[in-house]
Amino acid sequence: MRLGRHAFGDDDPLMMGIVNRTPDSFFDKGATWAEDAAFARVAEVVAQGAEIVDIGGIKAAPGVEISAAEEKARVVDFVAQVRATYPDLVISVDTWRAEVGAAVCAAGADVLNDAWGGADPELVDVAAEHDAAIICTHTGGVTPRTRPYRIEYDDVVAAAIADTTAYAQRALDAGVARESIVIDPAHDFGKNTFHSLEVTRRLGEMVATGWPVLVSLSNKDFVGETLGLDVGERLVGTLAATSVCALAGARIYRVHQVVETRQTVDMVWSIAGRRPPLRAIRGLQ
């Protein structure tokens, strides 16, 4: 797998730390809205071992309309600053807009994380032009920044596989490198809690497509609704879902809590026989 300038082994799970340049995202509620706070957040997740940062200028939920110009003002210079400070860090930008994608790639971004499943058809061309990676998500065709409402699928996993692999093929046809295409079932996007639970349970079917799979589970509503917990109380449930996805072989984990997720994924990776223990001597002296 190659994410822009950065290549990774076929069996390395990667942590993608979430950095919101927004005043209103659900988890941090604007804690990293100011540029210096956002930069401190980048430093934090880097220190915690995240290979990737995912910088977003617009919260996923409905809210005030943010123009492309405003989105660019929030992320482009910031990406350039992060690029200059952390040359070895993979920079992903969470955007669905080609115009924004082009600007952040020019500023040093490596990955375009299209959380809205190809809403802007030209985003793949931007990724190809800049040799950037692209995350192909499944949203069930909903409009960006809308909540799912009475969406039904004959088979949500089959739909997620069909849509994300079609998107991946579209990216490939546009000239994006095969090793730079990742698919994401997009928990909670165009999905109710039952859908997200089923996607988690059957994640192995997505892995079996051969495309590397990203999961974005962190503190989401499907965890909250399943356990009856508010946003600040969902870490344990998030990690349980993370374990299931890790056992199935998900490669990239988009997270708020890097350290806890890394421990969880490392443990599951070792259980799965894909990673040796760090240091095992008990009974082997």
Catalytically active residues are: 220, 254
Question: How many residues lie near another protein (CB under 8 A)?
Answer: 10
Considering the complex, what minimum distance in angstroms separates the CB of residue 260 from another protein?
A: 20
Please, are residues 193 and 225 in contact by the beta-carbon 8 Å criterion? yes
The answer for residues whose C-beta is within 8 angstroms of residue 82's C-beta and 6 or more apart is 39, 42, 53, 55, 89, 91, 108
Residue 9 binding another protein, by CB under 8 A: no
3-state DSSP assignment of residue 18:
strand
| Residue 49 or 277 having the CB closest to another protein | 277
Residue span binding another protein (CB under 8 A) among the ranges 105-113, 136-144, 214-222, 276-284: 276-284
3-state DSSP assignment of residue 219:
coil
Structure tokens at 159: 């739909």
Please, are residues 8 and 2 in contact by the beta-carbon 8 Å criterion? yes
Stretch 256-275 residues interacting with another protein (CB under 8 A): 275
**C-alpha distances out from residue 19 to 2, 91, 185, 234, 283, Å:** 21, 10, 21, 18, 43
Considering the complex, what minimum distance in angstroms separates the CB of residue 266 from another protein?
A: 10
Residue 283 binding another protein, by CB under 8 A: yes
| Residue 150 or 279 having the CB closest to another protein | 279
Residue 29 binding another protein, by CB under 8 A: no
Considering the complex, what minimum distance in angstroms separates the CB of residue 208 from another protein?
A: 28
> 259 burial class (0-12, 13-18, 19+ CB within 10 angstroms)?
middle
Please, are residues 266 and 272 in contact by the beta-carbon 8 Å criterion? no
| Residue 228 or 276 having the CB closest to another protein | 276
Residue span binding another protein (CB under 8 A) among the ranges 88-96, 118-126, 210-218, 277-285: 277-285
| Residue 10 or 230 having the CB closest to another protein | 10
Residue 64 binding another protein, by CB under 8 A: no
Q: Which residues bind another protein (CB under 8 A)?
A: 275-281, 283-285
